[in-house]
Amino acid sequence: MTDSNLAATVHHSGGSYPVVAGWGILDDLGERLVDVGVRGAAYIITDENVMNPYGRRVQRSLQEAGIPAHCFIIPAGESSKSFELAQAIYHWLAERRAERGHTIISVPTSMAAMVDASIGGKVAINLPMAKNLVGAFYQPKGVFADAAALSTLGKRELAEGWAEAIKHGFILDAELVDVFEEHAEALMDVDPEISAEVIRRSMAIKAEVVSQDERETLGIRILLNYGHTIGHALESSTEYGRFLHGEGVSVGMMGQPAWLPRWA
């Protein structure tokens, strides 16, 4: 499939994968997954807010493309990033007889997930002492984001999500910050063309950084943690219940000079 929605390709030690964003691409997901080599069963893991509007469509699209797809629904929110829930997911997968060659699918429907969390393979759970304290680098087969999913978000969720995209501008692309200033209203109204374009541009920055420093050992990927030292402290000290992630990062960026990033 030729893809005008391709934002970037991530290159990593084990190969490469496409990063794609467009408007309304969710219904093509099955075909796109076949294109990146997905075979056998797939397991969609998503939260209760995302399942009904998007999870079922993803399941249908996969099944139409010949991929048997099963769904596991988790509670929405940061508190689901726990040992207990990870264990419940492993049990469910074992009961389903999931195999190494099968595929797990999670659906990025927030801005932060689209431009940041879905790209680069960081997977982790939280401990009470700190966010993302136990995890791994595990690169996906592809990242596919449907910008139309943003149109069901409230203004607070939208604003927090744009924080991660603006962060990419602050650290590596000053012109992207100008684009945000110029199109602030259209972005908050989730204008289809501008939103998808800005998401692709922001994704491309993340993809480039990850391609250069996959495991955050070269002092490049750590740039992406701009604002996160204070942001994570705010989130964990309030038990992940008060600040949305992007809100913490926004406060963190105000309190931390851009030339002094810390850890995520």
The site for ligand GLY (CB under 6 A) is made up of 116, 120, 122, 221, 224-225, 264
Please report how close the Cβ of residue 196 comes to ligand GLY at its closest, in angstroms. 21
Please report how close the Cβ of residue 225 comes to ligand GLY at its closest, in angstroms. 6
Question: Whose Cβ is closer to ligand GLY: residue 81's or residue 122's?
Answer: 122
CA distances to 121, 168, 214 from 14, in Å? 12, 25, 10
* DSSP 8-state symbol, 31: H
Classified as helix, coil or strand, 74 is: strand
CA distances to 36, 60, 116 from 57, in Å? 19, 5, 23
Burial (CB < 10 A; 0-12, 13-18, 19+), residue 83, is: exposed
Whether 9 and 19 have beta carbons less than 8 Å apart is answered as yes
Question: Whose Cβ is closer to ligand GLY: residue 9's or residue 34's?
Answer: 9
Residue nearest to ligand GLY (CB): 224
Please report how close the Cβ of residue 242 comes to ligand GLY at its closest, in angstroms. 21
Angle (deg, nearest 10), helices 245-255 and 228-237: 130
Question: Whose Cβ is closer to ligand GLY: residue 28's or residue 164's?
Answer: 164
Please report how close the Cβ of residue 207 comes to ligand GLY at its closest, in angstroms. 11
Question: Whose Cβ is closer to ligand GLY: residue 224's or residue 244's?
Answer: 224
What lies within 8 Å, CB to CB, of 116 at 6+ separation is: 164, 165, 167, 168, 206, 224
Question: Whose Cβ is closer to ligand GLY: residue 51's or residue 123's?
Answer: 123
Please report how close the Cβ of residue 233 comes to ligand GLY at its closest, in angstroms. 16
What does the alpha-carbon distance between residue 190 and residue 153 come to, in Å, rounded to a whole number? 10
Angle (deg, nearest 10), helices 245-255 and 155-172: 40
Task: Map tokens 């998401």 to a residue.
Answer: 199
Question: Whose Cβ is closer to ligand GLY: residue 225's or residue 256's?
Answer: 225
Please report how close the Cβ of residue 120 comes to ligand GLY at its closest, in angstroms. 4
Please report how close the Cβ of residue 53 comes to ligand GLY at its closest, in angstroms. 25
Question: Whose Cβ is closer to ligand GLY: residue 201's or residue 228's?
Answer: 228
